[in-house]
């Protein structure tokens, strides 16, 4: 790991009316690490993620990002043009519902190629080869490249969405419950795949999940949120095996074991 | 009001060119803005016209704003001067302005068109007015107007290629045949209105001024004379125009856009120029095609 974090969040606050959905959150994301954000429903995890990517304006705080060309920018203060360009090139966002992150009427190949075309690639043959290569990496058969995502199963759609995001080799990927709504065996395969891709591509990931099992498998570090604020943070194994805060203890002990 | 050398009777009780002067000034301001930013859509206060939306209300308003008593107007619909839309718009302007009308492209100072660019090359000083149904090229992939405006402002046009990509996926070639998206002056993505892509190359560096009006969508945009207009494509699937394996059955032209015409109820058909004026000029100059059935030729020649 290098000396400086790739992303520093300081004092991020987001209010909906009088209610603070995210309250004074500070965190750091280091290059190549997977940071898990866990907490019960309504604890502000998804709102935090949306604010980080500039998808939702925050009320206070800063999100300092170290760009690929060595600058430090505040994602919240950046002009819209620059922010959208960064989000398109150096960031990725994996939605909980793949329908939000895919174009259902565009073939799988077109979905994977879209970000490349947005970056100016204009060679159909190369775009298609890249798409085929990425479909293979996310374990989708090459003969499905011309099919529309609406004909895919939920797990395949989610894998396609991941390929669509990773194709430009982003530096930061935000994932919102990527395994939500999938059955357990499909979840397991997706987790294996994610682990491999994260290591291969070397991307830094913030993953939001309410599933501590997913967090244990994927995340290097964990942050526990409750009612918009940070409760506890630490290395995944430390935090799950030896929780310090009463709320974390409650969260960990409420997981059912089979 | 000085009427042109026209045989028309001008209807009393209407302002010149139907619209009141304030409205025409508003339109001219929008047109000037559009010319200043080639390809950029300018909103304007579209008026109710004595014609339903979808029949060229945008084009009519532009023509009404730029026409003067000394102008000569030509109106075409799908290349033809004698179709319903063209005939009624032409007679509308004859009654509202008294200007001269013509079917000959070189004689016209303003050409209002639906779905074609004349085959005869337009020259400096002429104005080509397009009737536009949907001005927004990004609409198919982004239904939100606020978002498409942002995409134009930031020149985020990459996703437009996804549409062409899907064509190649499904058909093995770019199958978009009309309203083929173009980049204007290297900056703004533009819908050229539903002209066949055959006409796209004519827009590039055209000496005439091109004005586009969408009445229902309340947008005006323009391509000034001698402006670069480039059709989108892929490096390995370059932009191509339609080709026919036979020349025009009436005038023998092999470089024009052809329409297929059914000539009888036994499966007989022929291909003729869609630009009727161009075809007639060629025939007047002695060019003859060979494909037309004898009965059809006799009827046409006899009727003239």
pLDDT score recorded for residue B215: 95
Residue A1 forms contact with B (CB below 8 Å): no
The pLDDT of residue A18 is above 90? no
Written as six digits, the tokens of A127 are: 């775009």
Per-residue DSSP letter, B207: S
The pLDDT of residue A1 is above 50? no
Q: What percent of chain A has pLDDT over 90?
A: 57
Give which of B246, B229, B198, B215 is closest to B63, Cα–Cα. B215
Q: A126-135, A202-211, B177-186: which range is least confident on average?
A: A202-211
Query: With contact defined as beta carbons under 8 Å apart, do A175 and A193 qualify?
Result: no
Most confident listed range (A46-60, A76-90, A201-215, B186-200): B186-200
Which of A85, A103, A124 minimises the CB distance to B234? A124
What is the interface size between A and B, counted as CB pairs within 8 Å? 54
User: Is B158 marked active-site?
Assistant: no
Average predicted confidence (pLDDT) for chain A: 90
pLDDT of chain B along its 304 residues, tens only?
444 455 557 888 899 999 999 999 999 999 999 999 999 999 999 999 998 898 999 999 999 999 999 999 999 999 999 999 999 999 999 999 999 999 999 999 999 999 999 999 999 999 999 999 999 999 988 889 999 999 999 999 988 899 999 999 999 999 899 999 999 999 999 999 999 999 999 999 999 999 999 999 999 999 999 999 999 999 999 999 999 999 999 999 999 999 999 888 888 889 999 999 999 999 999 998 887 777 666 666 654 4
User: Is B289 marked active-site?
Assistant: no
Q: By three-state DSSP, how is residue B48 classified?
A: coil
Query: With contact defined as beta carbons under 8 Å apart, do B271 and B261 qualify?
Result: yes
Residue A114 forms contact with B (CB below 8 Å): yes
Per-residue DSSP letter, A102: S
Query: With contact defined as beta carbons under 8 Å apart, do A247 and A229 qualify?
Result: no
Which of A103, A120, A123 minimises the CB distance to B236? A123
C-alpha to C-alpha distance for B68 and A6, rounded to whole angstroms:
64
C-alpha to C-alpha distance for A213 and A207, rounded to whole angstroms:
13
Q: Which one is catalytic: B39, B58, B59, B215?
A: B39
User: Is B68 marked active-site?
Assistant: no
Q: Do A122 and B165 count as a contact with CB atoms less than 8 A apart?
A: no
Comparing A69 with B24, which gets the higher pLDDT?
B24
Q: Do B236 and A125 count as a contact with CB atoms less than 8 A apart?
A: yes
Query: With contact defined as beta carbons under 8 Å apart, do A21 and A47 qualify?
Result: yes
pLDDT score recorded for residue B302: 55
Which residue of B138, B146, B172, B234 is the best one to mutate when testing the A interface, meaning the one whose CB has the most A CBs within 10 A? Answer: B234
**What residues contact B132, with CB distance under 8 A and at least 6 apart?**
B58, B59, B191, B193, B212, B213, B214, B217, B219
Instruction: Output phi, psi for A148, to 5 deg.
Output: -85, 145
Sign of the dihedral through C-alpha B121, B124, B125, B129: positive
Q: Do A117 and B158 count as a contact with CB atoms less than 8 A apart?
A: yes
Q: What ipTM describes this predicted complex? A: 0.83
**Following DSSP, what letter does each residue of B218-240 receive, concatenated?**
TEEEEE-TT--EEE---SSS---
Q: What is the mean pLDDT of residues A161-168?
A: 92
Angle at A190 between CA A184 and CA A196, to 5 degrees: 140
**Following DSSP, what letter does each residue of A47-91 receive, concatenated?**
HHHHHHTTSS--SEEEEEEE-TTS-EEETTTS-HHHHHHHHHHTE
Compute the nearest-CA separation of A52 from chain B (Å). 20
Q: Do A103 and B156 count as a contact with CB atoms less than 8 A apart?
A: no
Contacts of B234 in chain A (CB under 8 A): 122-124
The B-side interface with A (CB below 8 A) comprises: 141, 150, 153-154, 156, 158-159, 161-162, 165-166, 168-170, 233-237
pLDDT score recorded for residue A70: 86
pLDDT score recorded for residue A258: 62
Residues in chain B: 304
Per-residue DSSP letter, B199: G
Query: With contact defined as beta carbons under 8 Å apart, do B112 and B32 qualify?
Result: no
Q: Do B170 and A146 count as a contact with CB atoms less than 8 A apart?
A: yes
User: Is B267 marked active-site?
Assistant: no
User: Is B303 marked active-site?
Assistant: no
What pTM did the predictor assign?
Answer: 0.85
pLDDT score recorded for residue A197: 84
Q: Do B165 and A113 count as a contact with CB atoms less than 8 A apart?
A: yes
pLDDT score recorded for residue A179: 86
Contacts of A81 in chain B (CB under 8 A): 153-154
**What residues contact A201, with CB distance under 8 A and at least 6 apart?**
A166, A169
Q: Do B150 and A110 count as a contact with CB atoms less than 8 A apart?
A: no
Our CA dihedral for A165, B172, A146, A125, rounded to 10 degrees, sits at: -40
- Domain ranges in chain B with CATH number 3.40.50.11310: 7-136+180-230
Q: Which CATH class is domain B7-136+180-230?
A: alpha beta
pLDDT score recorded for residue B304: 44
């Amino acid at each position: 790991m290098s000396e400086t974090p790739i992303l520093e969040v300081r004092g991020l606050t987001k209010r909906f009316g009088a209610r603070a959905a995210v309250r004074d959150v500070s965190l750091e994301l280091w290059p190549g690490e997977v940071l898990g954000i866990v907490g019960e429903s309504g604890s502000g995890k998804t709102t935090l993620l949306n604010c980080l990517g500039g998808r939702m304006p925050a009320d206070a705080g800063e999100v300092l990002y170290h760009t690929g060309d060595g600058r430090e920018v505040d994602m919240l203060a950046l002009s819209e043009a620059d922010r959208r360009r960064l989000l398109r090139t150096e960031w990725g966002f994996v939605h909980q519902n793949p329908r939000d992150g895919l174009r259902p009427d565009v073939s799988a190949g077109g979905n994977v190629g879209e970000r490349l075309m947005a970056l100016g690639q204009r060679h159909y043959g190369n775009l298609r080869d890249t798409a085929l290569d990425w479909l293979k990496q996310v374990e989708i058969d090459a003969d499905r490249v011309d099919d529309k995502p609406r004909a895919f199963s939920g797990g395949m759609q989610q894998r396609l969405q991941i390929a669509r995001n990773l194709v430009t080799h982003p530096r930061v990927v935000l994932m919102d419950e990527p395994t939500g709504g999938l059955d357990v065996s499909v979840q397991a395969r997706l987790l294996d795949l994610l682990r491999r891709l994260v290591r291969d591509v070397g991307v830094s990931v913030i993953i939001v999940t309410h599933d501590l099992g997913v967090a244990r498998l994927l995340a290097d570090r964990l942050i526990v949120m409750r009612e918009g604020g940070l409760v506890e943070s630490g290395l995944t194994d430390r935090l799950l095996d030896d929780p310090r805060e009463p709320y974390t203890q409650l969260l960990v002990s409420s997981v059912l074991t089979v | 009001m000085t009427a042109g050398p026209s045989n028309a009777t001008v209807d009393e009780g209407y302002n010149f060119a139907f619209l009141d002067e304030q409205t025409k000034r508003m339109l001219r301001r929008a047109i000037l803005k559009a010319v200043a930013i080639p390809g950029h859509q300018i909103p304007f206060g579209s008026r109710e016209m004595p014609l339903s939306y979808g029949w060229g209300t945008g084009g009519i308003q532009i023509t009404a704003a730029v026409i003067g008593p000394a102008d000569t107007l030509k109106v075409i619909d799908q290349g033809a001067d004698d179709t319903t839309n063209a005939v009624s718009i032409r007679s509308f302007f004859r009654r509202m302005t008294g200007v001269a009308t013509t079917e000959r492209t070189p004689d016209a100072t303003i050409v209002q068109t639906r779905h074609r660019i004349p085959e005869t090359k337009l020259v400096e000083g002429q104005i080509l007015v397009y009737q536009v149904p949907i001005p927004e090229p990004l609409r198919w992939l982004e239904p939100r107007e606020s978002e498409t405006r942002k995409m134009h402002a930031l020149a985020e046009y990459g996703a437009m290629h996804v549409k062409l990509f899907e064509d190649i996926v499904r058909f093995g070639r770019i199958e978009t045949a009309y309203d083929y998206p173009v980049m204007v002056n290297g900056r703004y993505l533009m819908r050229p209105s539903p002209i066949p892509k055959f006409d796209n190359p004519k827009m590039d560096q055209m000496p005439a001024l091109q004005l586009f009006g969408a009445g229902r969508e309340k947008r005006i945009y323009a391509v000034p004379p001698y402006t670069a207009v480039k059709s989108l494509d892929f490096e390995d699937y370059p932009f191509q125009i339609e080709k026919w394996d036979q020349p025009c059955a009436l005038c023998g032209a092999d470089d024009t856009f052809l329409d297929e015409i059914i000539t009888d109820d036994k499966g007989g058909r022929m291909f003729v120029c869609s630009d009727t004026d161009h075809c007639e000029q060629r025939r007047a100059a002695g060019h003859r095609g060979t494909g037309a059935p004898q009965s059809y030729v006799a009827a046409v020649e006899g009727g003239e």
